[in-house]
Structure 1
Amino acid sequence: MHLVREDALVCSALEFLPTELLPLLFMDAFHGRHIKTLKAMVQAWPFVCLPLGGLIDLPHVGPLQAILEVLDVLLAQKVRSKWMEQRKASIHLCCKKLTIFAMPVENVMKILNMVQLDCIQEVQFLKLYHLQDLYLDSPSFLEGCLDQMLRFLRTLLDHLAITNCWLTESDLTHLSQCLNIHELKGLDLSGVTMTDFSPEILCILLEQVAATLKELNLEQCGITESQLESILPVLSLCSQLRTFSLCGNVLSMAIMEKLLSHITGLINLSDEFYPAPQESYSPHGILQLGRLAELRDKLIEIMQDLGFPRAICLSSSPCPRWSNKTFYPEEPFLYQCYMSA
């Protein structure tokens, strides 16, 4: 049974139709290629979401293009009533598969702002010929399929940030094998849990970027001491490294001493951020400032013995640049950072 027969009749009756009937009418208009009716319905759509995800793979390019044209007009209009402003904020496309072709970044951002991101199950990037910096924070679609995104890269990346999400060991393997990271200057994997990952994978990844890497952020990665000890030799080869952060991981004084010893030769390293040593916490996880001060003095002695004065930050916060800091002017090469009680 076809609900849509005459475009003009349906368009004139839209405001009088029960809202419950609109989704069924919309699908009927789409499959029947009633372009005028579709455009009128999109303009008058009363719901929060416009569910196009199930229509993406259907051979109906004309109707889909018409819908997108109306949405583009609605979002591009310079003069809108208050009602239109509210409707702009409520328009989100529900799609399970998102394909991004070569286009200006601002257009990509406009599309992402229109899409209900938690509906996306598959993302494809096509012809990313000029991409140099890629930042992905809390992506829910990457776990187990990072290789699908990496294969569409066409240029060498300068900076890569994949943060606060779940990745598999296989994802990290694919990343280490990606030819587009060989001249990477910045790598941020903060918030990606690696506790159960093989140390060998971390070593291989760092080996690929050791010659050019300037910034390395491994905050809150759940890195174990055995993993850290395994990557120390290759970490010492990152001769260009300037900024390095391990905050938010659990490290003992013993492994921190080994770490400081291995990276003493990194003469460009100027910003080092480390967690307060495990021994500075009580059995109940409370930071003990007196004990921290003792460990601070021990770290100073270690660095003095290494013969390479430098500044480091100790923090119970994963973001030392914005946490409370106590500066000790009598020791110009050490900062202590900790959260207020």
Structure 2
Amino acid sequence: MWPKLPQVYFQDSFRSRFIRLSMMAPPRLLELACQSLLRDETLAIAALELLPMELFPPLFTAAFAGRHNEILKVMVQAWPFACLPLGALMKDQQLHRETLQAVLDGLDVLLGQEVRPRRWRLQVLDLRKNAHQDFWTVWSGIKPFLEPELAQPTRKRRKVEGSRTEPKQPLAPLEVLIDVCLKDGTPNESLVSLLKKVKQKKGLLHLCCKKLKIFVMPMQNIRKILKLVQLESIQDLEVNCTWKLPTLSKFAPHVGQMGNLRRLLLSHIHMAPLASLAKEERCISQFTSQFLKLNHLQELYLDSISFLKGRLDQMLRCLKTPLETLSITNCLLLESDLVHLSQGLNVSQLKDLGLSGVNLTTVSPEPLQVLIERASATLQDLDLDECGIMDMQFTSILPALGRCSQLTTFSFCGNPISMAVLEDLLRHTIGLSKLSHVLYPAPLESYEDVRGTLHLGRLAYLHAKLKQMLHEAGRPGVVWFSANPCPHCGERTFYDPDPILCPCYMPA
């Protein structure tokens, strides 16, 4: 016979079962309401006029997931918010061509009306995937946070008698925000549909893009597309093309129209073969003169630009505002270029400076020293990888490095530096409290021969020695070593902080 269990046991057992059942949450009333509406498309469309604004986002999400394109088309026309962040909804899903077309058709109906619908407040269709991440979860009740610029409900308009005498205000153009990537190959169907719609609407629909990336594409195609884009909306421009100078000069006027540009990356621009010096100078001037119109430029990245040699000053003196980031990589520069750079008015507030791949072996260290000193109050990230800097040059810039109080990251791999100079570097930078990431070159003593064959035992010993110095100074931070590329396989050996060996040193 089983013993009689106390009443408290049954109470605890019931409570635990109730908790388990509660965790298996049934669909919320909001979800059930959306599902019910979507079962009858005609009813859903008819109900939109009376639908509370709180139901629009969850209903739109459900209609988007189920590809109820007719409902989406009508919902766009009745959207009660200033912005429809469709891109954030697309983050985990692909936007189907039919779905985008339904949204564009809804816009088409709106733009074709002379009188605004009663609930129309839509001003922006945002197709960027990384914008307004919280909008849909907020209005689905998952998060309590509300984004004010998106979540303002439509206010009831007052009825004003005798308002017929007031002049009729023209409808403001509706903006479509999208990040654009131009390259040859399979056409971007979303972009093609948008361009057709913008062309049809002739000023009623503005295509705006904050980020524009251009890869290999014929210049005539690029220019046709850019004619339909609001160029003043572009803030981030990347040109990753293998262009000759004349092609760059044809593109230059478009850059000059990007008055709100904040970040510019220009890569792989080459001199035209057999071009006369006068033509080269004219092409360069056509491009650099556009910088006079860029009043908001903060970040400039120049990679593999062949025309910079001896002409860096021509570009820098056209800059209107101080730069926060300047990266010149894999370019040939003269000592006079470094002198102009160190004396420029626009480098005194640099936060990031990169000269990776710029050969400084035969250049006097003084311009680089002056440049670092001038930016020492603001500099946070310094990259001098693969510059061919040797002991004497590096020793000259150490005092300036020691004054960079805001420096957090310093990388100078691929430079032939001795262990004695690395130890000197630690002594100069030990007081930089914010410096947390330093990527050192493996010291010269780590190699067995001039070909660059590593001696792993020496490398491990020297790495441990630097670590011990940091520990004794109360700064047991990260010390990363990076060896030169292996002469056999081309891979590097790293300490991060444990060794990551190139394949040649891995056991078979």
Short-chain TM bin? 0.5 to 0.7
**Are 2:438 and 2:478, in contact at CA under 8 Å, matched by a contact in 1?**
yes
1:193 aligns with 2:347: no
Q: 1:301: how far off? A: 2.4
Structure of greater relative contact order (alpha carbons < 8 Å, 6+ residues apart): 1
Secondary structure at the counterpart of residue 346 of structure 2: helix
Q: 1:317: how far off? A: 5.0
For 1:323 and 1:249, the matched residues in 2 are separated by 14
Q: 1:96: how far off? A: 8.2
CA 1:336–1:240: 2 relative to 1, 3 Å: farther
1:161 aligns with 2:161: no
Q: Which amino acid aligns with 2:462?
A: L
**Are 1:313 and 1:337, in contact at CA under 8 Å, matched by a contact in 2?**
no
Secondary structure at the counterpart of residue 503 of structure 2: coil
Secondary structure at the counterpart of residue 307 of structure 2: coil
Partner residue of 1:241 out of 382, 386, 407: 407
For 1:167 and 1:305, the matched residues in 2 are separated by 40
**Are 2:439 and 2:479, in contact at CA under 8 Å, matched by a contact in 1?**
yes
1:104 aligns with 2:270: no
Q: Which amino acid aligns with 1:103?
A: Q
Partner residue of 1:295 out of 445, 448, 462: 462
Match of 2:427 in 1: 261
Partner residue of 2:388 out of 222, 240, 246: 222
Match of 2:296 in 1: 130
Secondary structure at the counterpart of residue 314 of structure 2: helix
Give deviations 1:127-180, integer Å, cap 9, x for gaps: 221111000001001000101001110111110101001001110111111111
Give deviations 1:14-52, integer Å, cap 9, x for gaps: xxxxxxxxxxxxxxxxxxxxxxxxxxxxxxxxxxxxxxx
| Aligned counterparts, 1:1-341, within 5 A | 72-73=223-224, 94-95=246-247, 99-100=252-253, 102-104=256-258, 117-119=270-272, 122=284, 123-124=287-288, 125-283=291-449, 284-317=451-484, 325=494, 334-336=497-499, 338-341=501-504
For 1:316 and 1:74, the matched residues in 2 are separated by 46
Q: 1:286: how far off? A: 0.5
Q: Which amino acid aligns with 1:151?
A: R
For 1:93 and 1:140, the matched residues in 2 are separated by 9
Secondary structure at the counterpart of residue 382 of structure 2: strand
CA 1:255–1:174: 2 relative to 1, 3 Å: same
Q: 1:72: how far off? A: 3.5
Give deviations 1:281-325, integer Å, cap 9, x for gaps: 11142011122111122222222333322111101158xxx9665
Q: Which amino acid aligns with 2:452?
A: G
CA 1:71–1:214: 2 relative to 1, 3 Å: closer
**Are 2:260 and 2:294, in contact at CA under 8 Å, matched by a contact in 1?**
no
Q: 1:70: how far off? A: 8.9
CA 1:69–1:178: 2 relative to 1, 3 Å: same
Give deviations 1:177-228, integer Å, cap 9, x for gaps: 1111111100000000111111221111111100000000000001111111
For 1:231 and 1:249, the matched residues in 2 are separated by 14
For 1:222 and 1:290, the matched residues in 2 are separated by 25
Q: Which amino acid aligns with 1:192?
A: V
CA 1:222–1:325: 2 relative to 1, 3 Å: closer
For 1:133 and 1:204, the matched residues in 2 are separated by 21
Say which one has the larger Rg.
2
For 1:92 and 1:273, the matched residues in 2 are separated by 35
Once the two structures are aligned, what percentage of the paired residues are identical?
A: 46
Match of 2:212 in 1: none
Q: Which amino acid aligns with 1:189?
A: L
Match of 2:178 in 1: none
**Are 1:315 and 1:336, in contact at CA under 8 Å, matched by a contact in 2?**
no
